[in-house]
């Protein structure tokens, strides 16, 4: 097995690493360098100013506001999306009880599985356009029209600073659940049937089956889901940009780091400062990922 | 060409060394690539096309050099360029290839081109994602247009280009006293309404503040929203109106002080008074739902007679063509007088040359770019533009012989009545950060309580921040 | 409770007694839970479908109907005008094919190169392994648009601006962090015994990878492929920045086309045409998903038997 090992390793790595370094790492390194300049994005010669941008960052209220919003997103988005997806995945796969000795999903589970996945195929641009109408602040909007049927006055959803961020999280959940249903379904299907059947024979109800059998066996999948959604919580830029009023408003109530980076880079032409924010975002995300993986690490390597 | 102080274009030994050090730090397999990128661009002037100057070619254009132009594809469309100005240029220089491009996101598309010193020759910098013009000027990317404005007009004999323009045009495109951009469209601002609605109800357009509120009361009684603007993306229509009132109360210098970032410019009494008056309108006559709507959505409501007054520029009529019911008849009035002791008359208006066009200083054919602007500024070019877009240009008298729509007629009447009493400010384009803050502060004022003090202190705070920020280039007028 | 000595007939609302025995009881519990399950699933299905159906209706409405009318009312007419406008003016068809082409090749490339790199990183010890791994993973954490300007310059220097080759390479590059991250984790979980057996049979490293490991990794490959297709299909910033120049519009991908209509709608407000374009662009995706749904599920669950 030693024979031809290094040529093989190099041969397999050379193309992906070259592509990746050329198109991703090289631009990013430049961004790291730019974070230490006062570059305005349109000149060819940035001026080096050391860590000034980072110092400014620490005193920037809107930066901390964005960080707080990421905190909220990180807390709410994965929890809600995973909880809903888990329940639905359970119902769709083993929720139908046992019939003829095998467990099955509830009636119509294929239909639900297809429908739930729909939002995944929509571009964020499209979702933004749709939900701008769903959340419209008068009765021509879907949600306020519905409230109107019950005699409730229209709520200016995206314009209310207490509601807007949660309205955006709701859209993210709306979009995400389908994918995680499929992901968890796959995880559940890979749990050997006889475990479930043994549990049924032991007289386990569905609730206890869910908590005692399904959840522990889905550990790895859950971890993956958590990382995906955590990273999504640090992004959220696109949806904020297309859906919020005043791009991150009202009055900064829905802003995220991506939005502020974008604003500084392209609207204020403060590329250097924007890059500094990007570097900050990079370290925050990396820290999150490292913590998640460390906390939930388990020996799965068989080598 | 001369560049503002703190120019980044002089490549000193120090920065070179620093960059080398940084590149060393970042040494990677891609180091070779790095050097070819940001910071690696050379500043040597590229070969720029130049031809013989003559009476028909006062700018010395090389008739064979290709010309690349970028037009923003938005409210005005791009037809005016492809159907009027490009053919005009090609007629004068049949051998020149004109590369026409259009884009929606100007900054995303063009910023990299400027960074790599390969800019297109002429750019229409507009739209919600326009490039920061101040930063471009600061970086020495923008051609000084003095030569263009001093050149003879293309088809108005005996006059230079400068002579044919509405007064104030060149100032509107100047940065620290030098003309860098051509602001081509001439826009007047006021409160828009449906003439038909007023006729049927026997209402007359208000001149004083008490007329105004009395009319808003009547509108309210008739079940309509008296006054509206779109908070979601068009709050600047409203702060323009607030500052118009401030200028009427205290004179146009109020706006000049704001532009020049004078201490206390925002907390000055006229601004506070104006904010107070408008805050009350917001609290009493507006619909909270409009905070969450976009401009086209509110404009649609006005077309359906649900909204009486709407603040906007003279592009409104064209923008709404498809949705305006027959006989709606757009009309516009100046913002009413605020007090009996106003410094400016009731007829005074905000009017400005807008829609920026500039020539890239480091492009391959800056002379061609300027020549293109000269074609835009010809009488025929301007007429063609107004015909296709229903928007006036800064070329005087170019609308002679055109049949004009009701809204445009009304704007022209308003402009005539204003005489020389029109004014504008520049801070919103000079300091984008203040623009953003003012949008948020305006929405807070108009929809959330109407606290004038809060509005002015908030704006003063951001103005002071901008003033203190060394990374932001300052401008004066 | 009444004092009756004779057994009461089983009644649904008698909680204290369990006359039907455990089996019947469980059936009732299932009935109740089934009801709840169906209700919750149906509600979620409505939440998903309502905005989409509403959008479909909106593509037939006039601006006035859309913004001022009752949101639940039907359009006054079902004329296909807006679809014709979307097709002719917005070139939805062409952009769709462009997207298909770019995403097809880019996803294939991503999966090939991604799994090659992930495999080596997961199963071979060599100097620099960790460095390369973390290099890939760190790419997950950086916002793409900060790289835009430098990226543009690099692509421009290579002469790949406004070419599919350039765009595809960039798509692959930006999909690699995610792909490598998850495939590495997956390749680590594959049992050693099979690999050892193959090596005993004299298989080369390359053959081992393509003929043994890849098939074993199928479930993971399928799910990452789906993820990449979706990510690349919805990519917007990269093509906007990189597909420009002469005739760039012919090379546009679908998201650019739609964003273009959306921007235009801000000025001329032809919302019906925009929604029509949206419907035209998502219908094929939905049909394809519905059609391949079983295969996708099967792929995802193929790892069941370990």
CB environment B53-62: b (16+ within 10 A), e (fewer): eeeebbbbbb
Q: Is C169 near chain B, with CB under 8 Å?
A: no
Burial class of residue A98 (count of CB atoms within 10 Å of its CB; 0-12, 13-18, 19+): middle
ipTM entry: 0.81
Boundaries of every domain in chain A: 52-295
Q: Which of B289, B439, B454, B462 to mutate to test binding with chain A, by most A CBs within 10 Å of its CB?
A: B289
A178 contacts C48? CB cut-off 8 A: yes
Q: Which residues contact A47 (CB under 8 A, 6 or more apart)?
A: A37, A38, A39, B8, B15
Planar angle of CA C14, C15, C18, nearest 5 degrees = 90
Helix or strand or coil: residue A115? helix
Mean per-residue pLDDT, C159-165: 87
Confidence of residue C32 (pLDDT cuts 50, 70, 90): low
Helical H runs in B251-378? Answer: 253-259, 269-285, 295-303, 316-319, 366-376
CB < 8 Å to A27, chain C: 147-148, 150-151, 154
Mean pLDDT of B397-425: 84
How far does C127 lie from chain A, in Å, by closest CA?
11
pLDDT over 80 at B298, yes or no:
yes
Q: State pLDDT tens for residues A124-149.
A: 878 887 888 888 888 778 888 888 88
DSSP 8-class letter at A211: I
| Residue A6 to residue A24: CA distance in whole angstroms | 25
The larger pLDDT score, comparing residue C263 to residue B69, is at B69
Instruction: Say yes or no: C154 contacts chain B, CB-CB below 8 A.
Output: yes
More confident residue, B389 or B203: B203
Segment C26-45 mean pLDDT: 75
Q: Which residues in chain B have Cβ-Cβ distances shorter than 8 Å to A159?
A: 231-232, 288-289, 291-292, 447
In angstroms, the CA B258 to CA B265 distance is: 5
> What is the mean pLDDT of the segment spanning C249-270?
69
Question: Which of B14, B29, B232 should we substitute to test contact with A (largest number of A Cβ atoms within 10 Å)?
Answer: B232
**In chain B, which residues have their Cβ closer than 8 Å to the Cβ of C265?**
296
**Closest Cα of chain A to C44: distance in Å?**
8
Indicate yes or no: CB of C124 within 8 angstroms of CB of A5.
yes
Q: Which of A118-127, B71-80, C114-123 has the lowest mean pLDDT?
A: A118-127
Given the DSSP bridges, would you call strands A98-99 and A102-103 parallel, antiparallel or unpaired?
antiparallel
C68 chain-A contacts, CB cut-off 8 A: 140
Cβ atoms within 10 Å, residue C188: 15
How far B335 CA lies from chain A's nearest CA (Å)?
Answer: 25
DSSP structure class, residue B364: S
pLDDT value, residue C299: 58
Consecutive sets of 10 residues in chain A, 303 residues long: mean pLDDT of each?
Answer: 75 92 90 84 75 87 91 92 90 66 64 83 80 83 85 84 91 90 78 74 74 79 82 82 81 87 79 86 81 59 33
Domain A52-295: give its CATH code.
1.10.3720.10
Residue C258's pLDDT band (cuts 50, 70, 90): confident
Whole-number Å distance between alpha carbons of C288 and C96: 14
Measured in whole angstroms, how far is the alpha carbon of residue C66 from the centre of its chain? 30
Examine the pLDDT at B205 and tell me if it is beyond 50: yes
pLDDT above 50 for C4: no
Q: Which residues in chain A are contacts of C304 at CB distance < 8 A?
A: 189-190, 192
Q: What is the mean pLDDT of residues C193-221?
A: 82
Identify the structural domains of chain B with CATH numbers, from first to last. 44-186+353-413 (3.40.190.10), 189-349+424-468 (3.40.190.10)
Please state, in angstroms and rounded to a whole number, the distance separating the CA atoms of residues A222 and A82: 8
3-state secondary structure of B466: helix
If pLDDT is split at 50, 70 and 90, which confidence band does C196 have?
Answer: confident
> ∠C278-C283-C286 over CA atoms, to 5°?
125
Tell me if C132 and A231 make a contact (CB, 8 A cut-off).
no
Cα–Cα separations (whole angstroms), residue C297 to A107, A214, B390, C111, C190: 17, 18, 57, 19, 20
pTM: 0.78
Q: For B47-62, what is each residue's pLDDT tens digit?
A: 788 888 888 888 988 8
- Minimum-distance CB partner of C236 among A111, A125, A224: A125
């Amino acid at each position: 097995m030693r024979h031809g090992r290094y040529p093989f390793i190099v041969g397999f790595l050379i193309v992906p690493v070259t592509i990746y370094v050329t198109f991703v790492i090289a631009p990013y390194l430049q961004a790291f360098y730019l974070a230490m300049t006062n570059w305005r994005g349109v000149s060819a010669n940035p001026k080096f100013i050391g860590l000034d941008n980072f110092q400014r960052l620490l005193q920037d209220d809107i930066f901390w506001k964005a960080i707080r919003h990421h905190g909220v997103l990180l807390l709410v988005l994965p929890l809600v999306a995973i909880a809903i997806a888990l329940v639905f995945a359970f119902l769709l796969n083993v929720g139908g009880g046992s019939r003829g000795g095998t467990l099955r999903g509830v009636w119509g589970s294929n239909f639900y599985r297809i429908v739930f996945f729909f939002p995944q195929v929509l571009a964020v641009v499209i979702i933004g356009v749709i939900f701008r109408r769903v959340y419209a602040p008068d009765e021509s909007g879907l949600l306020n029209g519905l409230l109107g049927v019950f005699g409730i006055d229209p709520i200016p959803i995206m314009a209310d600073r207490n509601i807007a961020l949660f309205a955006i999280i709701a859209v993210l959940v709306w979009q995400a659940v389908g994918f995680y249903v499929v992901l968890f379904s796959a995880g559940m299907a890979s749990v050997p049937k006889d475990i479930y059947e043994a549990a049924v024979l032991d007289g386990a109800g569905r609730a206890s089956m869910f908590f005692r059998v399904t959840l522990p066996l889905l550990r790895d999948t859950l971890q993956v889901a958590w990382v995906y959604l955590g990273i999504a919580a640090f992004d959220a830029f696109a949806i904020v940009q297309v859906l919020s009023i005043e791009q991150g408003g009202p009055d900064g109530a829905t802003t995220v780091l991506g939005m502020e980076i974008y604003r500084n880079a392209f609207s204020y032409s403060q590329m250097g400062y924007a890059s500094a924010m990007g570097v900050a975002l990079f370290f925050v995300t990396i820290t999150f990922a490292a913590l998640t993986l460390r906390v939930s690490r388990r020996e799965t390597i068989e080598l | 060409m001369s560049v503002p102080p703190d120019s980044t274009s002089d490549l000193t030994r120090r920065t070179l060394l620093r960059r080398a050090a940084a590149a060393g730090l970042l040494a990677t397999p891609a180091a070779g690539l790095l050097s070819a990128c940001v910071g690696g661009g050379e500043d040597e002037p590229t070969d720029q096309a130049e031809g013989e100057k003559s009476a028909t070619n006062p700018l010395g254009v090389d008739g064979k050099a290709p010309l690349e132009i970028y037009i923003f594809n938005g409210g005005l469309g791009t037809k005016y360029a492809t159907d009027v100005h490009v053919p005009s240029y090609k007629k004068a220089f049949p051998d020149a290839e004109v590369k026409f491009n259009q884009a929606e996101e100007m900054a995303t598309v063009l910023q990299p081109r400027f960074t790599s010193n390969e800019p297109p020759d002429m750019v229409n910098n507009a739209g919600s994602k326009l490039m920061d013009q101040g930063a471009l000027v600061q970086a020495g990317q923008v051609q000084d247009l003095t030569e263009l404005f001093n050149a003879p007009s293309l088809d108005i004999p005996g006059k230079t280009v400068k002579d044919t323009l509405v007064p104030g045009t060149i100032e509107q495109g100047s940065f620290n006293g030098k003309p860098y951009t051509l602001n081509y469209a001439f826009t007047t601002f006021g409160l828009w309404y449906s003439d038909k609605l007023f006729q049927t109800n026997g209402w007359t357009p208000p001149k004083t503040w008490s007329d105004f509120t009395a009319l808003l009361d009547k509108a309210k009684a008739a079940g309509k929203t008296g006054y509206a603007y779109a908070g979601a993306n068009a709050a600047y229509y409203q702060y323009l109106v607030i500052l118009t009132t401030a200028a009427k109360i205290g004179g146009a210098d109020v706006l000049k002080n704001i532009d020049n970032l004078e201490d206390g410019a925002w907390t000055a009494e006229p601004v506070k008074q104006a904010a107070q008056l408008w805050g009350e309108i917001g609290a009493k006559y507006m619909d909270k739902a409009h905070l969450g709507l976009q401009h086209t959505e509110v404009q649609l409501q006005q077309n359906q007679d649900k909204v009486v007054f709407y603040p906007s520029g003279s592009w409104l009529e064209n923008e709404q063509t498809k949705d305006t019911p027959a006989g709606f008849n757009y009309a516009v009035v100046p913002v009413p007088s605020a007090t009996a002791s106003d410094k400016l008359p009731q007829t005074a208006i905000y009017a400005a040359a807008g829609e920026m066009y500039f020539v890239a200083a480091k492009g391959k054919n800056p002379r061609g770019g300027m020549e293109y602007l000269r074609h835009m500024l010809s009488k025929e070019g301007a007429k063609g533009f107004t015909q296709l877009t229903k928007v006036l240009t800064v070329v005087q008298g170019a609308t002679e012989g055109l049949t004009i729509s009701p809204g445009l007629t009304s704007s022209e009447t308003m402009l005539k009545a204003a005489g020389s009493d029109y004014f504008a400010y520049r801070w919103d384009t000079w300091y984008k950060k203040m623009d953003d803050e003012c949008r948020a502060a305006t929405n807070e004022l108009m929809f959330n309580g109407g606290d004038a003090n809060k509005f002015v202190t908030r704006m003063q705070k951001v103005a002071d921040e901008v003033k203190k920020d060394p990374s932001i280039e300052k401008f004066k007028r | 409770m009444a004092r009756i000595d004779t057994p009461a007939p089983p009644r649904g609302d008698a909680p204290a007694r369990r006359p039907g025995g455990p089996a019947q009881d469980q059936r009732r519990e299932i009935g109740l839970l089934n009801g709840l399950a169906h209700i919750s699933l149906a509600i979620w299905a409505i939440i998903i479908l309502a905005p989409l159906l509403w959008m479909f209706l909106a593509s037939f409405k006039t601006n006035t109907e859309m913004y001022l009318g009752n949101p639940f009312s039907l359009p006054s007419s079902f004329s296909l005008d807006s679809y014709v406008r979307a097709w002719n003016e917005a070139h939805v068809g062409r952009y769709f094919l462009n997207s298909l082409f770019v995403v097809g090749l880019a996803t294939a490339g991503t999966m090939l190169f991604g799994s090659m790199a992930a495999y080596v990183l997961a199963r071979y010890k060599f100097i620099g392994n960790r460095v390369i791994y973390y290099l890939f993973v760190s790419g997950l954490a950086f916002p793409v648009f900060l790289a835009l300007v430098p990226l543009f310059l690099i692509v421009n220097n290579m002469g790949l601006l406004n070419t599919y080759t350039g765009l595809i390479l960039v798509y692959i590059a930006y999909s690699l962090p995610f792909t490598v991250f998850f495939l590495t984790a997956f390749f680590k979980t594959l049992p050693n015994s099979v690999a050892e057996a193959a090596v005993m049979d004299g298989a080369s490293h390359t053959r081992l990878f393509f003929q043994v490991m890849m098939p074993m990794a199928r479930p993971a490959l399928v799910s990452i492929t789906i993820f990449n297709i979706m990510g690349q299909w919805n990519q917007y910033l990269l093509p906007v920045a990189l597909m420009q120049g002469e005739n760039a519009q012919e090379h546009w991908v679908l998201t650019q086309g739609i964003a273009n209509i959306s921007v235009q709608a801000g000025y001329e407000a032809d919302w019906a045409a925009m929604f029509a374009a949206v419907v035209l662009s998502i219908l094929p995706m939905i049909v394809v998903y519905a059609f391949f749904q079983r295969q996708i599920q099967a792929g995802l669950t193929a790892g069941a038997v370990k």
